[in-house]
Amino acid sequence: MTGQTPILEVNDISLRFGGVRALSNVTFDVKKGELFSIIGPNGAGKTSLLNCISGRYSPQEGSIKFNGQEVTKMTPNHRAELGMGRTFQNLALFAHMTVLDNIMVGRHHLMKNNFLNGGLYWFGGAQKEELLHRREAEDIIDFLEISHIRKSVAGTLSYGLRKRVELARAVALRPDLLLLDEPMAGMNLEEKEDMARYICDLNEEWGMTVVMIEHDMGVVMDISERVMVLDFGKNIAEGLPDEIMKNDYVKRAYLGVDEDDEAEGEVA
Amino acid sequence: MNWDLLGQLLMNGLIIGALYGVVAMCFVLIYKSTQIVNFAQGEFLLIGAWVCWWFLTTWELPFVVGFLFTLAFMTVFGIVLQTVVLRPMIGEPIISVIMVTIGLSLFFQAGMKWIFGVNVQPFPKVFETETVEIFGMMIQTAYIMSLGISLFIMIGFAWFFKSSKHGLAMRATAFDQQVAQSLGISVKNVFAMAWAISAVVSAVAGVVIGIVNGVSDTLAFIGIKVFPAVILGGLDSIIGAIVGGVIIGLLENFAEYADGQWFQVGNMYTIAPFYVLVIILMIKPYGLFGTKDIERV
């Protein structure tokens, strides 16, 4: 599945908030079709990095290319139109809308009819288009197994389901690149397994390149093709899951190797 | 009791109330999508009415053409106002933006006086018959048109928010701008659209009231009248705006009746809505349909 052409090239970006350096000279690229994970302790700058990619923050230095196109100065909505979808760390569903409406918002940029020719609903092709988008939405709903709640108001759903609806909304954009910020946080084991399966399917069957931030090492090592480790805003390691597993820093930080054995002689 | 008079006044109240509802909806539309309390709402009516009057008198266009030109003008006006004055204010404290709308309100009022003078100007005759009799009540033809237009606009708003792509985008933006952007919605366009719709629809109300009462800067006072309606209905509820508007319209006219029949105070018509404003703020500060956790300004 993984090709050689990079879909996303992040080149030497730095992001500062006043005196705080959130990201320093981070460089990496993601190949088309890849499932790429970013790990790191809290406050390492993972979400800031994702926000730079999706356009919520703009880095002071460096450049970001998406599909070979320079996007560093583009607005988030323009990037979404180019084919970047994302989910958020804290649930960001439109709580008063139904699940279906949430997903239809995701179809927004794909709908061509504006509200002038939308007035010619039955003649101008608007009806045909809407049916098409509804069918697409239903496909996504089926795929994520949320058809039983499609008419429910999003705010009333359980946490795990809301996460799934958020994923559905991002998928509705039909993005080439899907940015997931902790898609499994706060889920139980079963929900995590389901989510991991959806992400793998989206990657393999729907052909979406995935960049994911996740804390659950088991899942990350299991499904990722490559992993990048971020700490204090710096890219400290990048490679195949196996290589990352062997990395001393990662062992200490995540895999529960006894610090006394491993890090003897370091500052306690 | 004088039932005929009461019936007549309540009928007027319903029609005027529907117009208040429409203007209140425009106000809520801007508040919902941009979080701005627009103190210049009444001036939208004023500008719309004056521009239409100008098309009809100076250019001597037929009413329908002049009216359509007015709507086109107001669309451009709303977009330009948002782009030039309010877009640079994005990210500034909300109170600063509200101050700007107060400034705009003064500016427009003065500007209209400067351009069109301070006198009440009657509209050229629009309808052949000025009043029609329905169930023994005399009703201005313009008011009947106004009721029709109000209903049309209300249904239009309902359809727009429920079923159209832009309505959905607007609801999404109102809820969370960042998320909406991440889904490919241009927040700038949504804001411009909100101001344009608000300006156009307010202008319609301005023209209707202008036809009945003549055009003068008292029209801008509707913008203040809308506050009780909006607070009563709930600051962020479109339905609430309509209900609030109708209630305020009825109440106003009932106050006039009660005043004339019993109290003889002389100005209860103007004052009554504001009593309601105070009472509502004391007992139900979020209004009838408002969201509980919204911000108060």
**CB spacing of B176 vs A173 below 8 angstroms:** no
Question: Which SS3 state, helix, strand or coil, does residue B216 take?
Answer: coil
Query: Which residues 148-187 of A have a C-beta within 8 angstroms of B?
Result: 169-170, 173
- Domain span including residue B217: 3-283
Residues A251/A47, Cβ–Cβ less than 8 Å: no
Cβ neighbours of B178 in A, within 8 Å = 56, 76, 92
Residue A33 sits in a domain of what CATH number? Answer: 3.40.50.300
Question: Would you give per-residue pLDDT tens digits along chain B (297 residues)?
Answer: 678 888 888 888 898 899 999 999 999 999 888 888 899 999 999 999 999 999 999 888 898 999 999 999 999 999 999 999 998 887 788 889 999 999 999 999 999 999 998 888 888 877 777 788 777 777 888 888 888 888 998 898 888 888 788 888 888 888 888 888 888 888 888 999 999 999 999 999 999 889 888 898 888 888 888 888 998 888 888 889 999 999 999 999 888 888 888 887 778 888 888 888 888 888 888 888 877 654 444
**CB spacing of B187 vs A77 below 8 angstroms:** yes
Please check whether residue A136 lies inside any domain of the structure: no
Length of chain B: 297
Please check whether residue A15 lies inside any domain of the structure: yes
Please check whether residue A189 lies inside any domain of the structure: yes
Please check whether residue B46 lies inside any domain of the structure: yes
Residue type for B198, please?
S
- Structure tokens given for B256: 């006039």
- Structure tokens given for A259: 């610090």
**CB spacing of A80 vs B182 below 8 angstroms:** yes
- Domain span including residue A78: 6-83+175-262
Please check whether residue B296 lies inside any domain of the structure: no
- Structure tokens given for A93: 């569903």
- This prediction has a pTM of 0.81
Helix H or strand E segment including A63:
strand A61-66
Residue in B171, B175, B183 closest to A106 by CB:
B183
* Residue B266 Rama label (left phi>0; alpha psi -120 to 50; beta): left
Please check whether residue B138 lies inside any domain of the structure: yes
**CB spacing of B183 vs A108 below 8 angstroms:** yes
Interface test with A, best of B183, B193, B237 (most A CBs within 10 A): B183
**C-alpha A256: how far from chain center:** 27
Phi, psi (rounded to 5 degrees) for B126: -100, -40
Please check whether residue B268 lies inside any domain of the structure: yes
Cα angle vertex B146, ends B144, B148, to 5°?
75
Cβ neighbours of B239 in A, within 8 Å = none
- Structure tokens given for B172: 């999404």
Specify the number of domains making up chain B.
1
Please check whether residue B297 lies inside any domain of the structure: no
Please check whether residue A132 lies inside any domain of the structure: no
Please check whether residue A205 lies inside any domain of the structure: yes
Specify the number of domains making up chain A.
1
Query: Which residues 14-43 of A have a C-beta within 8 angstroms of B?
Result: none
Cβ neighbours of A96 in B, within 8 Å = 171, 175
Q: Kindly tell me the sign of the dihedral angle through the C-alpha atoms of B287, B290, B294, B297.
A: negative
Which residue has 């500008």 as its token pair?
Answer: B47
Q: Which residues pair with A26 in a beta bridge?
A: A13
Instruction: State how far residue A93 is from chain B, nearest Cα, in angstroms.
Output: 8
Please check whether residue B290 lies inside any domain of the structure: no
Residue B236 sits in a domain of what CATH number? Answer: 1.10.3470
- Could you tell me which of B170, B292, B290, B168 has the C-alpha nearest to residue B237? B290
* Residue B60 Rama label (left phi>0; alpha psi -120 to 50; beta): left
